[in-house]
């Protein structure tokens, strides 16, 4: 050990001086440790003591134990002016051919689960607040902890071993079970009416359907021919009024949908085709250990609306049979004849997608309202993962060794049309299937992808991507989100402030897509939003690609020591993991796209929360509250503001975070100061005191501002951007101002 110390204590001053040469100020941070190193901390520190002793004998440097805050204070004390950096360092490579861009997609099912649970947690906490947090009963804390753990850099990233990934998922599942009870009792309490007759003491038992992604919902797959009503409570976690299409599986097509006023509303039946049924059967066996007892024939689609932080109730019942049952509004049109025509236009509203029956794929996008028309082709392909012993493609690293485009299967397109939505089914091959949906009243296309099991019998790992190809002139530039907030400009093979050498043209230009990405030309913007984090890029002008799934057979040597080879086992037979997910596409006139990206982005993250129960006869509305708003019924949040936290804390105080969704200059109408009236948000309660906090809510904003270091910025004062922030909150008026991209955090005491 002595020799080791001598050697390094002679070397370190040289390394430090080299680093100091390219570092501002004469303080250099030398980080110690890495994964697992402090499991034997005493041996670590004993060596470090000696090390520091010998390094300081050299005389050129002074080594000392430090901490990030001591280091920061020392930097600050030098009074240096610092250059501003607004772009980031992505993507990262630790050596040639080793771009850490594979983990953007690794374990797509876990990534999807984390995303679904985060959105659910947000809604569950709102409902926990609306009912009042229960000291004894179930709460949302376990789910909070599980989600926090899942944010670890080897958890949601997909870079843990399989048995560890299983544990993360198990914790989420335990947390969900408890949060679901909170949601169900809260909805029972909100819908229980005290003034109405027959409210009694009967507590409604609600059920939810977490597995709609595999077309499985026992609560809606029920026999209604006995005259029972299926009650569907639709809760909206957003601070805006909202309308959305609900799709639930039903076993019988002879049903009608009524709103809470008792009026029948338009609905549509969409046949559940084989591909979805196969996933349903296989995955209900994998998740629940049993096949479903019934087989739904259709998706029942209808449009639902709900007030901000509020709910509406819908009723599904059997249609009373009439002898001359005229074709109902529930239209099922299965137009297989369209095979003959080459060009097929789908979409019941302003948006039409154009498909070629011959090529069996998407070829165009037309919006008759905005007059946007664009050639859009969509295709699937896969990269083969490199297997070189020096560097393989693996959980962290994306290293493609060639690409294979997948020609669509010879099976004709299946087109299902109706008044509410059209669907196009495409079988790409035996392991990729796609359902494209266009809804009336929505101007985006929804792509549902079913990918897997990725075949490996040829001994080759595969990384599956979908590409969107247009003729747009995008001059190497595209935009991807940073943690779902600001969009950063990405330029292929280029960095503004240093000379970049990209030696992997694909992997070296990949970015994490959490909310979405877009490209633009002189007159339009093409945006894609995702349902979970995944990798994405624009490798050629006019093109976008998303990596949806990956299965690899070699370890990439960064610490997992396992191949990323996810499997699912049913009755001891294992096959590669299949994932079902969605992405959304829309093209807007230039400068008008941010509205959709921001507001629909919120809708993806916070879908309607559905709860089901059954009721004999039509008495529900007489005995229950069937429409409710958590805010003042005349109030909605401004279009540019979202409520990102509403949580009752242990001590009865309430934590509130409001976020401005737009960047400076992002939208001509919405990148402006917004204001939120807290009295209207909390119309059902009386606010006693509002305290503004730091973002993490562990200190008051005033105290934080006192301690905050004000750094000198390099450049002339005009170059330094002015930061605009909302003003202080007047304790009587209780109006919160938010400037573009601002997030404000409050702790509220109620009387």
Ligand X SMILES: *[C@@H]1O[C@H](CO)[C@@H](O)[C@H](O)[C@H]1NC(C)=O
Q: Which residues bind ligand X (CB under 6 A)?
A: 109, 112-113, 116, 210-211, 213-214, 274, 283, 386-388, 401, 553, 563, 565, 567, 574, 578-580
Nearest to 461 by CA among 106, 112, 98: 106
- Closest to ligand X by CB, 12 vs 123, is 123
Q: Which residue is nearest to ligand X (CB)?
A: 388
Are 478 and 510 spatial neighbours (Cβ–Cβ below 8 Å)? no
Distance CA 692, CA 686 (A): 18
Min dist CB 214 to ligand X, Å, is 5
- 3-state SS, residue 147: helix
| CB closer to ligand X out of 213 and 313 | 213
The answer to whether residues 220 and 231 touch, using CB atoms and an 8 Å cutoff, is no
- Least distance from ligand X to the Cβ atom of residue 579, Å: 5
> Would you say 324 or 457 has its CB closer to ligand X?
457
| Cβ distance to ligand X smaller for residue 236 or 565 | 565
Q: How far is the CB of 176 from ligand X (least distance, A)?
A: 8
Which of 677, 664, 675, 736 is CA-nearest to residue 701?
A: 736
Burial environment of residue 555 by CB neighbours within 10 A (0 to 12, 13 to 18, 19 or more): middle
Give 376 or 435: the residue with its C-beta nearer to ligand X. Answer: 435
Q: Could you list the beta-strand ranges (E) of 321-370.
A: 333-334, 343-346, 351-356, 361-367
Q: How far apart are CA 681 and CA 636, in angstroms?
A: 8
Q: Closest distance between ligand X and the C-beta of residue 205, in Å?
A: 22
Nearer to ligand X, 254 or 387 (CB): 387
Q: Write down the least CB distance from residue 509 to ligand X, Å.
A: 19
User: Angle at Cα 518 formed by Cα 591 and Cα 441, nearest 5°?
Assistant: 70
Contact 135, 147 (CB under 8 A): no
Task: With both helix axes pointing from N to C terminus, report the angle between 162-191 and 108-131 in degrees, rounded to the nearest 10.
Answer: 30
Nearer to ligand X, 449 or 479 (CB): 449
CB atoms under 10 Å from CB of 586, counted, come to: 24
**Closest distance to ligand X from the beta carbon of 244 (Å):** 18
Minimal CA–CA distance to 589: which of 523, 667, 526, 670? 523
Minimum distance of ligand X from residue 576's CB (angstroms): 7
In this structure, the number of other CB atoms found within 10 A of the CB of residue 398 comes to 30
Give the bridge partners for 549, in sequence order.
Answer: 464
CB of 394 to ligand X, least distance (A): 11
Q: How far apart are CA 279 and CA 257, in angstroms?
A: 27
Decide whether 388 or 669 has the Cβ nearer to ligand X: 388
Task: Classify residue 200 as exposed, middle or buried by CB count within 10 Å of its CB (0-12, 13-18, 19+).
Answer: exposed
Q: How far is the CB of 568 from ligand X (least distance, A)?
A: 8
State the nearest-atom distance from the C-beta of 561 to ligand X, in Å. Answer: 12
**Cα 549 from Cα 535, distance rounded (Å):** 10
Cβ nearer to ligand X, comparing 5 with 210: 210
Q: In terms of CB distance, is 379 or 565 closer to ligand X?
A: 565
Residues 157, 103 contacting (CB under 8 angstroms): yes
Cα 59 to the center of its chain, rounded Å: 53
| Closer of 112 and 310 to ligand X (Cβ) | 112
With CA atoms as reference, report the closest residue to 138 among 190, 184, 178.
178
DSSP state letters, 468-482: EE-----TTEEEEES
Name the pairing type of β-strands 712-713 and 81-82: parallel
Kindly tell me which of 269 and 738 has the beta carbon lying closer to ligand X: 269
Given the complex with ligand X, which of 111 and 598 has the nearer CB atom? 111
Q: What is the CA radius of gyration of the chain?
A: 28
Minimal distance in Å, beta carbon 181 to ligand X? 17
Other CB atoms closer than 10 Å to residue 201's CB: what's the count?
5
- How do beta strands 255-258 and 310-318 pair? antiparallel
The CB-of-172 to ligand X minimum distance in angstroms stands at 8
Residues 6+ apart with CB under 8 A from 18: none
**Min. distance of Cβ 582 from ligand X in angstroms?**
10
């Amino acid at each position: 050990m002595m020799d080791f110390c001598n050697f390094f204590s002679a070397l370190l001053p040289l390394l430090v001086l080299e680093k100091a040469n390219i570092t501002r100020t004469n303080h250099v941070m030398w980080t110690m440790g890495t994964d697992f190193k402090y499991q034997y901390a005493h041996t670590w520190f004993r060596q470090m003591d000696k090390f520091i002793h010998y390094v300081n004998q050299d005389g050129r440097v002074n080594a000392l134990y430090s901490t990030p805050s001591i280091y920061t204070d020392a930097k600050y004390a030098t009074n240096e002016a610092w250059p501003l950096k607004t772009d980031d360092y992505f993507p990262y490579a630790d050596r040639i051919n080793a771009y850490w861009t594979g983990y953007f997609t690794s374990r797509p099912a876990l990534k999807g689960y984390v995303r679904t649970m985060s959105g659910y947690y947000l809604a569950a906490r709102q409902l926990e607040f609306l009912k009042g947090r229960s000291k004894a009963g179930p709460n949302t804390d376990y789910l909070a902890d599980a989600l926090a753990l899942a944010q670890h850099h080897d958890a949601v990233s997909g870079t843990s071993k399989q048995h560890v990934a299983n544990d993360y998922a198990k914790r989420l599942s335990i947390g969900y079970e408890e949060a679901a009870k909170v949601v169900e009792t809260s909805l029972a309490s909100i819908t229980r009416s005290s003034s109405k007759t027959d409210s009694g003491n009967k507590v409604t038992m609600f059920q939810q359907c977490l597995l709609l992604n595999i077309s499985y919902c026992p609560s809606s797959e029920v026999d209604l021919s006995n005259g029972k009503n299926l009650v569907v409570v639709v809760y909206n976690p957003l601070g805006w009024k909202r309308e959305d299409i609900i799709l639930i599986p039903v076993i019988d097509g002879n049903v009608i949908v009524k709103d809470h006023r008792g009026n029948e509303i338009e609905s549509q039946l969409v046949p559940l085709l084989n591909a979805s049924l196969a996933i349903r059967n296989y995955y209900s066996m994998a998740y629940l250990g049993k096949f479903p007892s019934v087989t739904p024939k259709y998706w029942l689609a209808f449009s639902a609306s709900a007030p901000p932080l509020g709910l509406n109730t819908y009723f599904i019942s059997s249609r009373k049979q009439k002898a001359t049952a005229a074709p109902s509004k529930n239209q099922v049109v299965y137009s297989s004849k369209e095979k003959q025509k080459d060009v097929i236009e789908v979409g019941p509203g302003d948006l039409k997608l154009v498909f070629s029956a011959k090529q069996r794929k998407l070829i165009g996008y037309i919006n008759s309202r905005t007059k946007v028309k664009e050639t859009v082709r969509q295709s699937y392909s896969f990269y083969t993962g490199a297997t070189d012993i020096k560097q393989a493609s693996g959980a962290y690293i994306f290293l493609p060794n060639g690409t294979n485009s997948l020609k669509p299967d010879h099976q004709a397109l299946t087109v299902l049309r109706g008044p509410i939505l059209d669907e196009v089914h495409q079988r790409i091959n035996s392991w990729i299937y796609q359902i494209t949906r266009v809804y009336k009243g929505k101007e985006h296309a929804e792509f549902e992808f079913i990918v897997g099991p990725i075949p490996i019998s040829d001994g080759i790992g595969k990384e599956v991507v979908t590409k969107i190809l247009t003729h747009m002139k995008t001059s190497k530039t595209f935009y991807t989100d940073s943690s779902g907030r600001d969009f950063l400009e990405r330029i292929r093979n280029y960095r503004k402030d240093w000379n970049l050498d990209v030696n992997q043209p694909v992997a070296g230009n990949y970015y994490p897509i959490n909310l979405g990405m877009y490209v633009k030309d002189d007159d339009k913007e093409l945006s894609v939003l995702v349902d979970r984090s995944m990798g994405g890029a624009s490798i050629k002008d006019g093109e976008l690609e998303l990596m949806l799934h990956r299965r690899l057979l070699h370890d990439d040597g960064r610490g997992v020591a396992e191949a990323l080879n996810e499997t699912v086992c049913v009755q001891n037979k294992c096959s590669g993991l299949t994932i079902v997910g969605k992405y959304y596409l829309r093209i807007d006139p230039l400068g008008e796209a941010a509205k959709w990206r921001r507001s629909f982005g919120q809708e993806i993250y916070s879908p309607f929360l559905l709860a089901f129960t059954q009721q004999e006869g039509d008495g529900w509305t007489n005995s229950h509250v069937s429409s409710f708003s958590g805010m003042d019924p005349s109030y909605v949040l401004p279009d540019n503001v979202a409520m990102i936290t509403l949580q009752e804390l242990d001590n009865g105080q309430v934590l509130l975070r409001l976020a401005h969704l737009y960047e400076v200059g992002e939208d001509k109408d919405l990148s402006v100061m917004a204001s939120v009236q807290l009295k209207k948000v909390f119309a059902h309660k009386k606010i006693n005191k509002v305290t503004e906090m730091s973002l993490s809510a562990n200190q008051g904003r005033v105290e934080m501002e006192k301690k905050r270091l004000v750094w000198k910025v390099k450049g002339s004062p005009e170059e330094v951007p002015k930061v605009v922030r909302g003003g202080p909150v007047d304790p009587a008026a209780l109006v919160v101002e938010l400037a573009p991209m601002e997030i404000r955090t409050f702790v509220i005491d109620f009387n």
